[in-house]
Amino acid sequence: MITLEGLPDSILELVIDLLPQQAKFNLCLVNYKFYQVVQPELYENLIFTISSIIPSKSDFRSSLATIIGGSSNPLVSTESQRKLYNVRQEVLLQSLSINEQLAKFIKRVIVYTGKEEGVFSSNSINDKNDDDNAAFPAANLKLLDLIKKRSVNLVQFTVIGDTSRGIAGLTKEQILLLPRLERLDITDLTYLDCLTDSIKTLVIHKLTTNRFDLKTSKPDIINQIGRLDSLIINDEDAQVRFLQYLIGDNPKLTFKFKALRLLHYHGFSDYNVISTRLALQLLNYVDRETLKSLELVMGCDHITCDCLKELVNNITVKKDFDLTRMAIQQFTVHKDHNYSEKFDFYVSDLLSKMKHRSSIRYLCISYDTPNDFNIGNGIKGNGIEGNWLKRKRLFAATLPKLTGLKTLVLPHFLENAAGYEQIISDLLWNGCKCSHCKDYLSLFDYYIMHHQYYNSLDGYMTDMISPILFGSAGRVMASRVIEDFNLNALKYPPLDTYWNFHKGNGISHFKSQDKNDCKFNESCFKPLTKCISHFFLEYVESYGSSLPSLNLVVMNGEYFDRVEGKSSEWICEYA
């Protein structure tokens, strides 16, 4: 019988690659051979975040990276979480300082500075001060500087989140000293000077400076951009400045991108008409044969406008792209069902008109939902059950047309559903009848009866309602997925996030003395997510029955895998 130790290193490396983080640590302690083989796998992909990884016994997603984070105990205070996070970074700093060889194993570094980091792990009933959270550094600066200096095999260094929280990306000098760098994230267009032959992905974030004085000639820069496999644009103003430079002169060229992310948003006063025009123009320069992954951030805040029709026709008729992966994200400033229904219509129109829609294997649809989950906007009746069912029927009619779809990702499904109070209240009062839901749903009904929230539309505190409960929970569940961009939604391991049942929307108790007696905290969150997963299961089974090829559905950070050999049975990995 061959033991694990007796396997050749080449096979052992494949086995170790699938092990979760703690199992790799444990294997390092067995003997020196395992220690040597595990080290490269352990250090290859590092993610810095105050959260921990969400545990699972039945999948390999936790093996995607090594998390340098906080405690997995949901009741640990924010202060203790930060102390543990800092200690773990100090230990890593010491290891890299003592053994310089370890830094050479590091290939990818992700610093996650999501705005919810450190908030939902708090066991305090009162909201934490956002300024205090922002002041807390996202990672040890000395450690990151050491990694940038010594990790000569680095292929990616990315800061992901709403704010950098004091973390800087790579400098121009550091970029030029990394011969294997594959992904370049920039907030300054002068960094286009740093494009090298090794860089295959350019990610343009919100610009921090208006400088655009390039030393490299324009033909050389355009030539380097033409070598890219992926162009990802995350900000509208940056898109305008970059595309005006790139295609403003109507050059005679074709970009052979394999992946592309663009913004097409029509806002008030037509202020961004230049951005939408440039987005459409860029599509004309993209080779239809090579583009396989497309992400669109789209929206139109003029209810009678049909500008999105031009975008749909450009993709489906004019270029007729043959895509395998697609992500569509809504952008709107309105809190109204009508704009979400309009978005749904054009998503359906886009997917239905694609001649090669059977080639799509991955689809992500993300919604822009209001913080209070109120889509009525003062107009009574918009959030009624019939409107949700109308959208549900449209989606059910469109999805089966994607006959080759394997993965469906709906990052904000629950917040979207929370806008329709009848639907979400039905989950609470007439939901799943299993023993778990029978035990817990009544407790969450009790929670609603003893809490209130701030109604921002009417401007006063009012009785707690089910949309606030489930919408808030959905937002925290969605933060399990590291928000890089939607085409990359499953690239990183899911994080273990918690809600204390009092954060957001001014949630409080009716009586001040109830504050100290309230038993609802992070320990109640996992039971709530299990109830929610049972609500999701009805939709998952419906999607699965209409799409035999579908084997993974992700809704608000809940992963549903089809059971192998049982076409009608699904398992939720983290419930």
HEC sequence for 274-295 = HHHHHHHHHHHHECCCCCCEEE
How much is the pLDDT for 15?
A: 87
Would the pLDDT of 133 be above 70? no
Domain membership of residue 22 (yes or no) is: yes
Residue 9 within any structural domain of the chain: yes
Task: With a cut of 70, say whether residue 116 has pLDDT above it.
Answer: no
> What is the mean pLDDT of the segment spanning 461-482?
95
pLDDT exceeds 80 at position 95: yes
127: pLDDT confidence band, cut at 50, 70 and 90?
A: very low
DSSP helix/strand/coil, 112: strand
Q: Round the CA-based radius of gyration of the chain to a whole number and report it.
A: 24
Q: Please state, in angstroms and rounded to a whole number, the distance separating the CA atoms of residues 184 and 220.
A: 17
Predicted confidence band at 92 (pLDDT cuts at 50, 70, 90)?
very high
pLDDT band at 486, cuts 50/70/90?
A: very high
At 261-306, the pLDDT tens digits run 999 999 887 778 899 999 999 999 999 999 999 999 999 999 999 9
pLDDT score for 497 = 93
Residue 121: its pLDDT value, please? Answer: 32
Question: Which is more confidently placed, 117 or 358?
Answer: 358
Higher pLDDT, 119 or 413: 413
In a domain? residue 137:
yes
Q: Residue 251: pLDDT band by 50, 70, 90 thresholds?
A: confident
At 106 the pLDDT is 98
382 within 8 A of 421, measured Cβ to Cβ: no
Q: Which amino acid is at 561?
A: D
Quote the strand ranges of 187-258, DSSP E.
201-204, 230-233
Could you tell me what percent of the chain has a pLDDT over 70? 93
Does residue 349 lie in a domain region? no
* pTM, rounded to two decimals: 0.93
Q: Which residue has the tokens 């992926």?
A: 230
Write down the pLDDT at residue 164. Answer: 61
34 domain residue, yes or no = yes
Alpha helices in 331-487 (DSSP H): 337-353, 385-398, 413-417, 421-429, 435-449, 466-478
Give the model confidence (pLDDT) of 147-200 as tens digits. 999 999 999 999 998 666 678 889 999 999 999 999 999 999 999 999 999 999
Contact of 134 with 105, CB cutoff 8 Å: no
Residue-range definition of the domain harbouring residue 61: 1-181
Q: Per-residue pLDDT for 124 more than 60? A: no
Is residue 126 classed exposed, middle or buried when 0-12, 13-18 and 19+ CB atoms within 10 A define those classes? exposed
Determine, yes or no, domain membership for 329. no
pLDDT tens-digit series, residues 347-385: 999 999 999 999 999 999 999 998 889 876 444 557 888
Task: Tell me how crowded residue 566 is: count the other CB atoms within 10 A of its CB.
Answer: 9
Q: How confident is the model at residue 233 (pLDDT cuts 50, 70, 90)?
A: very high
- Give me the number of domains the chain comprises: 1
Q: What is the pLDDT of residues 21-75, one digit of tens each?
A: 888 888 988 988 888 999 999 999 999 999 999 987 667 888 899 999 999 999 9
On the question of pLDDT at 553 being above 50, the answer is yes
Q: Please enumerate in sequence order all residues whose Cβ is within 8 A of that of 435, keeping only pairs 6 or more positions apart, or say none.
A: none
pLDDT of residue 134: 52
Q: Please, what is the average pLDDT of the chain?
A: 90
474: pLDDT strictly greater than 60: yes
Instruction: Summarize pLDDT for 504-532 with one digit per residue, the tens.
Output: 999 999 877 677 789 999 999 999 999 99
pLDDT in tens, 2-19: 777 778 888 888 888 888
484 or 5, greater pLDDT: 484
**331-356: average pLDDT:** 93
